[in-house]
Structure 1
Amino acid sequence: MSTTEQAVLFSCAQETQVGILSLPAEQAQVGVVIAVGGPQYRAGSHRQFVLLARRLATAGYAVLRFDYRGMGDSSGSARDFLDASPDIAAAINTLHEHAPEIRSTVIWGLCDAASAALLYLQDTKDTRVTGLCLLNPWVRSETSLARTQVKHYYIQRVMQRTFWTKLLSGQVAWGALKGLARNIRLSKAASPSRGAGDLPFQQRMANAWTDFDGRILLLLSGNDYTAKEFLEYADADTAWSKALKQARLERHDLANADHTFSNRLAQTTVENLTLDWLATTSNAIK
């Protein structure tokens, strides 16, 4: 299927955002907004978002990838995922303006873009969004990081003979053991409370996940501390444990993939899984 690609400019809080719109030759029923994670712009690591958008458009989906305010070619001051809801709203509005035949929208996000997608839904309850593609969601806290490091780094490290050889020979400072002790102490700390006051962003994400009645695709990398930290956090939190058991969730663990799915096999696998899941989502809204 042939596609067209064009740059679009749109406004958000008196600033100008830049996006790239990829459209199929025929009218699309489903649109995909690719949100950006971290200090990144619309191309993505190793042109990941470019390749994904073009393949999705070829399969018949309308796709918009864009720069947050203050990032890439968009104007304004830089901001992080906690303040990205207005940017995502402006992008969804723009996609629907250029492809008014769209009946539903999916947000696709990697790392803290996955987090931003959930926070957007909690902030807006946008009924146009019927699906979420979430890759290695970001739930970083001091406690969750410590738990992940203890389980997936320190325990394996102290079990290695080379570690003790280097320690006793002075090649590894005793500070490494102090670091282990500190992380063990932090790992046993309680997760942030859901009591009075503003909820931690991780709990806001969990609430949005639970309240969302659309479909969710969750892709997790096996060779990635962000994904491991997400699973550690979910295992220790009742709301997240419940969320990961929901029937509308489709989860895939890519054992050998890194954080950004940087090799071609991992990239193609992500594209294929996204397309297969989108086909199911598209059938559900017909």
Structure 2
Amino acid sequence: MPYEERALAFDCGGATLVGIASVPAAPAQRGVLIIVGGPQYRVGSHRQFALLARHLAAHGIAALRFDVRGMGDSDGDERDFEAIQDDIRAAVDAFATAVPDVREIVLWGLCDGASAAAMYAPGDARVRGLVLLNPWVRTDDGVARTTLKHHYRDRLRDPEFWRKLARGRFDVAGSLKSMLGLVRAAFARRPAADGASAPLPERMRQGLHAFTGRTLLVIGGADLTGREFCDVAGSTPAWKRLAAAPHVTWRRLDDADHTFSRRAWRDQVASWTHEWVVSW
């Protein structure tokens, strides 16, 4: 389907945010707002966000990608992903104004952009779907456990590791020191907390639990962040119930890295996103 791209400028707390809307000739009523995560701007790693928006627009789905305050072409001070709720709301407002055919919003995010989307979604009735790629639920003990569980297991299965060990080219002492540090971090006792002071994984669970729409989770099997999220999702009965809920769909690319950097991975994510958005 033919589409056009429009530059948008809109206000957020006195700062001007900049975005690009990819708008098909006949937009569907459900559009996709791409939330940028980490210290990057609206094009995305490997041009992923730009290519995703254009893929969706070519299939009749309007998409908006934008720079949060302090990033890319937008004004303001750089801020943490947990402090961009106003930015997301301003972008939803601008999207609805620029493309009035869009009446439902799907938030699409990678890494801490996914986490920001999940925590924002319950508070905006216009948001009916979430697409979350390798969501960020990082804690010191969580990453330690994930590294111990996955990284060291993978190393033991790698023939190159054993060849290095046999040739004396492997730093055994350094590796043991690193592993012991991870063990201490993984089993460190931490004070219990709830509400606003709860650990990030619990706040993520609360946000996803409160969200009444549908969720698509996409995991790169070779990504430590994605693996950590999967470990968290299987860690407690509450998380397990949420992960297995009928409104939650899982997709996994076993060899994919954090940003789905290969063309085949990127194209598969775009295809899954399009198919899922129009499936309900």
* Structure 2 runs not aligned, ≥5 long: none
Structure-2 separation of matches of 1:84 and 1:196: 19
* Residue 170 to residue 3, structure 1, CA distance change in 2 (3 Å): closer
Structure-1 separation of matches of 2:194 and 2:274: 40
- The alignment's C-alpha RMSD in Å is 1.9
Correspondence for 1:176: 175
Structure-2 separation of matches of 1:214 and 1:196: 22
Aligned to 1:174, what secondary structure does the other structure show?
A: helix
State the aligned residue count. 277
* Structure 1 runs not aligned, ≥5 long: 282-286
- Contact 1:28–1:99 at 8 Å: present in 2 too? no
Aligned to 1:22, what secondary structure does the other structure show?
A: strand
Which residues of 2 match residues 115-154 of structure 1 at below 5 A? 115-122=115-122, 125-154=123-152
Which digits, 9 at most, give the CA deviation of each residue in 1:118-165, with x for residues without a partner? 11125xx10000000010000010011001111112244357534644
* Residue 111 to residue 43, structure 1, CA distance change in 2 (3 Å): same
Aligned to 1:260, what secondary structure does the other structure show?
A: coil
Correspondence for 2:80: 80
* Residue 50 to residue 196, structure 1, CA distance change in 2 (3 Å): closer
* Residue 19 to residue 184, structure 1, CA distance change in 2 (3 Å): same
- Contact 2:139–2:200 at 8 Å: present in 1 too? no
Correspondence for 2:250: 251
- Contact 1:22–1:53 at 8 Å: present in 2 too? yes
How much has 1:173 moved relative to structure 2?
5.5
Correspondence for 2:162: 161
Which residues of 2 match residues 1-286 of structure 1 at below 5 A? 1-122=1-122, 125-157=123-155, 160-162=161-163, 164-165=165-166, 169=168, 172=171, 174-189=173-188, 193-195=192-194, 198-281=197-280
The TM-score, its normalising length taken from structure 2, stands at: 0.93
The TM-score, its normalising length taken from structure 1, stands at: 0.91
Amino acid corresponding to residue 14 of structure 1 in structure 2: G
- Contact 2:23–2:61 at 8 Å: present in 1 too? yes
Structure-1 separation of matches of 2:212 and 2:57: 25
* Identity %, equivalent residues: 44
Aligned to 1:102, what secondary structure does the other structure show?
A: coil
